[in-house]
């Protein structure tokens, strides 16, 4: 029988995350939205607490998780039965944190998207070497957005180093992070299969932050343009195997997204939940109560709209949970990760904007955080693969077609 309840083992973790969101993130949310590019120093203490929980083993999922496909390990875990592990714990706790503030969550030290890439692709030695490193992830380039396979940044082997040349844009935490996981091609003529990821540590000669972007939302998070000009990176910083496997193609690099897309979905889930909770309270204060025991068409139009938004939100949440659960149980989840990202991204934007509309002038003004959440949520439908790209991936998986057959 399918159990749709949150796993009991993670309820304490999610409650802790909710308390942090309510008592630490919400009170400083508006300040760092207005003070764009100012580092939220309050997060240093919070990051230290999370590191302590992770090291003690008291909070599974406090750090970034991966989506490894080790067959021997998978067989061993399969014999032990169903597992609710760190991927599921991560999406649940991140959703709670984003109930507080998405931009501040994205600014958390040592919790960058690059950390998920390391967790997914790095070998055992690299896992240990980069333990505790705060890693951003640099994929997008000018003219290369959703089509990650069209990356033009090059990595040329030179002795025991690789020399990187190129430009990366929209790098979350690109200035603040300790290192950046950079996607680059070893050989443009070999296409997708030659794309590898490299850990480039802060201060490496040849890497520079060109500028920080001014943005519509998630202003607490820095978003950088980074230039690589003959940047020499140690060969051992190439994540995973340096061999170009044409048969495997882009699968090795893309495995990272199987992990990060459910995480982005969870951010949208948390932000949308915040908007729904506040809107429900504001409607009740205005005399519009939602009755869950009566059909929507017999209730106030605003209450009926809220019921529809909540049902859409629940569908997105369940897709997110499924994608994370599959990763925990070593099941291929590329389809489900894209479905979760597509649904949650669209629902997040729809919910937050609808909540602004339902609350009228209160929703549109800075008297409440509703307008901020509507600005923050839009990026969650764009980065880590746009809505359109996710739908394309889903269509390819469902129809069994390759990227060449369905563009």
Catalytic residues: 384
Please tell me the total number of residues recorded for the chain in this structure. 407
Burial letters 26-53, b for 16+ CB under 10 A, else e: bebbeebbeebeeebeebeebbeebbeb
Cβ atoms of 78 and 101 closer than 8 Å: no
Interatomic CA distance for residues 362 and 369, integer angstroms: 10
Interatomic CA distance for residues 372 and 1, integer angstroms: 40
Q: Strand, helix or coil at 324?
A: helix
Helix-strand-coil split of the chain, %, nearest 5: 55, 15, 30
Cβ atoms of 112 and 172 closer than 8 Å: yes
Q: Which residue has the tokens 């490299």?
A: 198
Neighbours of 9 (CB within 10 A): 13
Residue partners of 145: CB distance under 8 A and separation at least 6: 386
Within the chain, how many helices (H) and strands (E) appear?
A: 14, 7
């Amino acid at each position: 029988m399918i159990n749709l309840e949150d796993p009991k083992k993670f309820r304490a973790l999610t409650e802790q995350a909710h308390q942090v969101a309510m008592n630490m993130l919400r009170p400083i949310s508006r300040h760092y939205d207005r003070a764009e590019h100012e580092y939220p120093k309050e997060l240093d203490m919070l990051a230290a607490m999370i590191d302590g929980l992770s090291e003690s083993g008291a909070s599974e999922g406090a750090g970034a998780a991966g989506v490894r496909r080790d067959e021997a390990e998978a067989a061993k875990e399969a014999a032990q039965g169903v597992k609710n592990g760190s991927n599921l714990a991560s999406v649940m706790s991140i959703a709670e944190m984003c109930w507080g503030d998405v931009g501040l969550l994205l600014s958390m030290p040592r919790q960058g998207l690059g950390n998920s890439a390391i967790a997914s692709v790095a070998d055992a030695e690299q896992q240990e070497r980069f333990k505790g490193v705060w890693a951003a992830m640099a994929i997008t380039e000018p003219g290369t957005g959703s089509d990650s396979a069209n990356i033009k940044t090059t990595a040329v082997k030179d002795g025991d180093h690789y020399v990187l040349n190129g430009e990366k844009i929209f790098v979350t935490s690109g200035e603040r992070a300790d290192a950046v996981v950079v996607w680059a091609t070893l050989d443009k003529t070999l296409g997708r299969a030659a794309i590898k990821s490299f850990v480039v540590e802060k201060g490496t000669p040849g890497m520079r932050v060109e500028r920080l972007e001014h943005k519509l939302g998630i202003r607490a998070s820095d978003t950088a343009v980074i230039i690589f000009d003959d940047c020499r990176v140690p060969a051992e910083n190439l994540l995973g195997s340096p061999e170009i496997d044409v048969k495997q193609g882009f699968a090795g690099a893309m495995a990272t997204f199987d992990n990060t897309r459910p995480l982005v979905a969870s951010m949208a889930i948390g932000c949308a939940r915040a908007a729904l909770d506040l809107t429900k309270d504001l409607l009740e204060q205005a005399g519009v109560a939602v009755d869950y025991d009566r059909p929507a068409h017999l209730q106030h139009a605003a209450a009926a709209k809220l019921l529809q938004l909540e049902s859409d939100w629940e569908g997105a949440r369940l897709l997110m949970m499924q994608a994370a659960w599959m990763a925990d149980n070593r099941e291929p989840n590329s389809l489900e990760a894209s479905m979760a990202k597509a649904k949650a991204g669209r629902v997040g934007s729809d919910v937050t904007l609808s909540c602004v509309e339902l609350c009228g002038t209160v929703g549109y003004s800075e008297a409440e955080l509703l307008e901020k959440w509507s600005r923050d949520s839009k990026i969650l439908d764009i980065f880590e693969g746009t809505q359109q790209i996710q739908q394309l991936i889903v269509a390819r998986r469902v129809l069994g077609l390759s990227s060449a057959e369905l563009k």
